[in-house]
Amino acid sequence: MKQPFVSIIVPVYNVENYISDCLNSLINQTLKNIEIILVDDGSSDSSGKICDNYAKKDKRIVVIHQKNKKQGGARNTGIEIARGKYITFVDSDDWVKNDFAEKLYNKAIQTNADIVICDYQRTKGKNVKIGKSKIEAELLLDEPFDLKKLVNQPSRRMSFFFVVCWNKLFKKNIAKKYLYFPENLSFEDSAPVLRTLVMAKKIAVVDEKLYFYRISNSFSTTHSKDIRKFDLFKVQDIIINDLKNFDFGNFKSLSITFMIKDLFKNFRTIEPSLRLNFYHEMKNTFKRLQQYNYLKFADRKYRLKSWFVINTNYPISCLISKI
């Protein structure tokens, strides 16, 4: 069987209202030599059945049904069986432009890049006006580039853009070696994506919004959902260990700044009844960063905010988080 150019991995969990939009955008890709790996992660609605029905109509679709391991576990399953020369990810409630795979793949071939990144468009539904991409203007880089060797690192405004996996195309060999996701955790993207970015020798960019990211209320302020935010500390432990085990080079500053910024953002928005416990965990994380002498690499603003959390009390930390 001919090797696919690109394997598109889709973790699927209880998205019966959205999965068709996602799959229609994938089966209609202009790049035809692809495989679409749908990992049904223990869905309790009709998502798994919808996936099976699509697979009957398109031989490029592979469906895996497994017990729930969250998105990280579903992505790991997809990576294990992927046959493509390159691997990309699409979340099952999102969708992509019809030339998403083709443009990323062509860029990878032209530049021999390990990773290709495109811009994305936030949206609440299918009727969306696509804004102008700012990715190239934000990066201000000649490409392809090696993040850990850059003297002028990208702005901290780019944090979310960097830590998600779904706007990127990865060479299969680098994905299988470095892009292993933590299972049964929320916020699972950041640690493996940061690790893989710094191990890539060549990163290229497609300066277009090819991915549509559906904004939902999945992390709205309720106790049962906000409790997931404590997974951040397990994910950040992984990042700290990666900082010790991999050469982040000049990208260390942006990575550590992202960690601190992300914790403060979730500290401000978490349900009040959980905030004190979150504060104690956050303080412990900052102490670990200080222990390994990593705080000095953070952006000055977030380095100072971390210092106040370590050396003052809860009320002051609440005030500092709003600055």
Find, among 129, 124, 107, 140, the residue nearest to 209 by Cα. 129
Q: CATH 3.90.550.10 region(s) of the chain?
A: 6-214
C-alpha 314: how far from chain center:
31
Predicted TM-score (pTM) of the model is 0.94
Q: Is the pLDDT of residue 218 over 80?
A: no
Interacting residues of 231 by C-beta distance below 8 A, sequence separation 6+: 185, 186, 187
Residue 214 to residue 22: CA distance in whole angstroms:
11
Report the length, in residues, of the chain: 323
pLDDT value of position 221: 39
Q: Is 142 left (phi over 0), alpha (psi -120 to 50) or beta?
A: beta
Helix (H) or strand (E) holding 278: helix 272-291
DSSP per-residue codes, 158-209: GHHHHH-STTEEEEHHHHHHH-PPPSS-SS-SHHHHHHHHHH-S-EEEEEEE
Residue carrying structure tokens 């696919």: 4
Domain covering 6-214, topology: Spore Coat Polysaccharide Biosynthesis Protein SpsA; Chain A (3.90.550)
DSSP per-residue codes, 89-101: E--TT-EE-TTHH
Residue 43 to residue 47: CA distance in whole angstroms:
6
For the stretch 100-141, pLDDT in tens is 999 999 999 999 999 999 999 999 877 777 888 878 777 766
Q: Is the pLDDT of residue 241 over 80?
A: yes
Count of alpha carbons within 13 angstroms of residue 294, beta-carbon side: 26
Residue 99 to residue 29: CA distance in whole angstroms:
6
Average pLDDT over residues 152-164: 76
Tokens of 42: 């223990």
Residue 312 to residue 304: CA distance in whole angstroms:
12
Average pLDDT over residues 45-67: 97
pLDDT value of position 156: 59
Average pLDDT over residues 23-35: 98
Q: Is the pLDDT of residue 210 over 80?
A: yes
